[in-house]
Structure 1
């Protein structure tokens, strides 16, 4: 027996999810038979003096349309409680722990948690070439169905199927794309996603995140020390990885924590400059004093002078 979700999945196309989102936001540009009226949309742009459209670029890869279609599918499995886990350490927990294919789990989360998640952290395969990633997908449809579904020629179908059990960049991107699309959907309007990665796929990840989340919603990239030892297997011993940070809507971005403020600091010696505060010493636009004395907390006497220029300590001397 075929479920409703399975029937739905048989009918969707690579652009189905996008058109569905577009219809939610711009229903006035859709016809009775759910077709997007491009001419009406262009006319509306002209009427509102939006006549300058910037040239852009996008990242294309083998399997992109297939990945876009996967992003629009519905879950075809059933979530079953783990009675043993629920009677163990997780008995009193309010958390949810899912075991299964992560794309299918994300589809389930999309059903119940659309626009509700504040923070997502993912640590995907880095695709280092050390057997840490292979793209396993059965491509359950026949070649003819794939050709009709995506409008492909025979050679293009073979190219698509070539990423099976592959660790190519295209295979990795096909794996990541639908997962990031759904992750964006379940983020709240104030939500943030953190994605750990290394040099092997950093540039590709940045490109698809710009496409999915929007370049304007890029927050920053954290560089963190991932190892302290020195490697001799390459000309340069790299000891860092990255965490890319994107917001669902950077205008509504909300960090969950207590921000630093001057209220946290006091001024017990009544220094005329006020309480200590975070001020970049290498960007002192006001031309203020960059000579600082170090006071002995026991005697109250000043022993050293520090001169700081461009963020660097350049002088340390005893004071008479």
Structure 2
């Protein structure tokens, strides 16, 4: 065992490379026959030198990128002032979220398990203005960023418009700070629609590292759409998920419903369910007949499908009792049972399906009903529901984890956290536990 551990231990170079990529994602790449290539300009930018950043054209070299980076690295001169004394473990901060993130970094660096944000979507109907405060004197800013006065004026005007560069410049420093707050096994979820989904994906690839992309979930937003120009009924938006370090992420959550697993025949392998032995593929050596020796019933795979297993494997399952032939069955029934044993499940926890939010219960309408009940619907557009947030929390966190939402909106994240805590307390109380 010791020899195996020694063989599997990472070399000093591998450990150094892992640490470098953790703190400077996207700066190293493998090129020219697995040769490491260092993007020195990107590295210098992450260390505070923005002079080599190009801003011409479209893409991640967007206009205003230098200013966006200075916003993240600029020292914070704000303080957090409590309105009253409280013993609550929860914190609600009112103010510019860029300032708040810098303040939180002082006490919560690498301590947040999950971040969820629902940022402005940069739509034509969105009234949000991306107007970060560039309080430095123009002379200091021009010198630091190597700008002409004309270019600085152009960028300042740009931030008041609905363009990609303005939106990216607004999001960039906030996501950089968010990354610093995440634990090594932490994840961030970001709701977005088509207006900025492509830009957000590229931005997150740069900040978190392309290899730390976890998933792109689909959320159903509505049943119908008012835009009939293309004939497409557009009903969804996206939920991007990135990790601080994907190697440490596990989004399994909650226990599967296993009540259908029974053992009516006292099978020594334990509880089982009658599973489907066919698969949606056409494999020539899996297109044979299976004959019931009791009734003579002959079964073939359904049309367009084949058996999951070869003939030899099927015979092995018959010999082991995994496949059992029925002594009585209806004419339209399969003549055998294929057992899937509970003990063979890789995990009893639920997987986090990328289509988990495609049901109607996650639509905007459901969230609006919640706000109508609270007489708050007129104040919040396109809210997310508590059930939506609860499922994310179920899969991404454990008891005692810290959750952050720096675009709080209607407070859905806080609501879902409180409901989750209440549920955990109820389960513990019913089980005779103590908090």
| Corresponding residue of 1:74 | 75
Q: Distance in 1 between matches of 2:96 and 2:166?
A: 17
Aligned pairs (5 A) from 1:64-103:
64-83=65-84, 93-103=88-98
| Corresponding residue of 1:249 | 245
Instruction: Note the residue ranges of structure 1 that are not aligned, 5 or more in a row.
Output: 1-21, 27-41, 292-304, 312-316
Deviation at 1:196, TM superposition (A): 0.2
Greater shift, 109-118 or 129-138, is seen at 129-138
Q: Distance in 1 between matches of 2:271 and 2:303?
A: 19
Deviation at 1:208, TM superposition (A): 0.4
1:174-212 Cα offsets, whole Å, 9 max, x none, are 100011001110000000100000000000000000000
Query: Is the counterpart of residue 108 in structure 1 residue 103 in structure 2?
Result: yes
Provide closer, same or farther for how the CA distance between residues 288 and 187 of structure 1 changes in structure 2, counting only shifts above 3 A. farther
Query: Is the counterpart of residue 199 in structure 1 residue 189 in structure 2?
Result: no
Provide closer, same or farther for how the CA distance between residues 310 and 82 of structure 1 changes in structure 2, counting only shifts above 3 A. farther
Q: Distance in 1 between matches of 2:255 and 2:88?
A: 29
Q: Distance in 2 between matches of 1:285 and 1:192?
A: 40
Among 228, 233, 241, which residue is 2:223 paired with?
228
Q: Distance in 1 between matches of 2:78 and 2:259?
A: 51
Provide closer, same or farther for how the CA distance between residues 248 and 307 of structure 1 changes in structure 2, counting only shifts above 3 A. same
1:24-75 Cα offsets, whole Å, 9 max, x none, are x67xxxxxxxxxxxxxxx9xx9xxx974439999711111111111111233
TM-score, length of structure 1 as denominator length: 0.66
Query: Is the counterpart of residue 209 in structure 1 residue 210 in structure 2?
Result: no
Query: Is the counterpart of residue 275 in structure 1 residue 276 in structure 2?
Result: no
Q: Distance in 2 between matches of 1:58 and 1:286?
A: 48
Instruction: Note the residue ranges of structure 2 that are not aligned, 5 or more in a row.
Output: 1-15, 21-27, 43-57, 290-299, 307-330, 335-435
Query: Is the counterpart of residue 128 in structure 1 residue 123 in structure 2?
Result: yes
Greater shift, 273-282 or 115-124, is seen at 273-282
Among 10, 20, 37, which residue is 1:53 paired with?
37
Q: Distance in 2 between matches of 1:159 and 1:310?
A: 61
How many residue pairs were aligned? 254
Across the aligned residues of Structure 1 and Structure 2, the Cα RMSD in angstroms comes to 4.2
| Local SS of the residue matching 1:95 | coil
Q: Distance in 1 between matches of 2:192 and 2:278?
A: 29
Provide closer, same or farther for how the CA distance between residues 198 and 187 of structure 1 changes in structure 2, counting only shifts above 3 A. same
Deviation at 1:258, TM superposition (A): 3.8
Provide closer, same or farther for how the CA distance between residues 203 and 220 of structure 1 changes in structure 2, counting only shifts above 3 A. same
Deviation at 1:283, TM superposition (A): 6.2
Provide closer, same or farther for how the CA distance between residues 278 and 51 of structure 1 changes in structure 2, counting only shifts above 3 A. farther
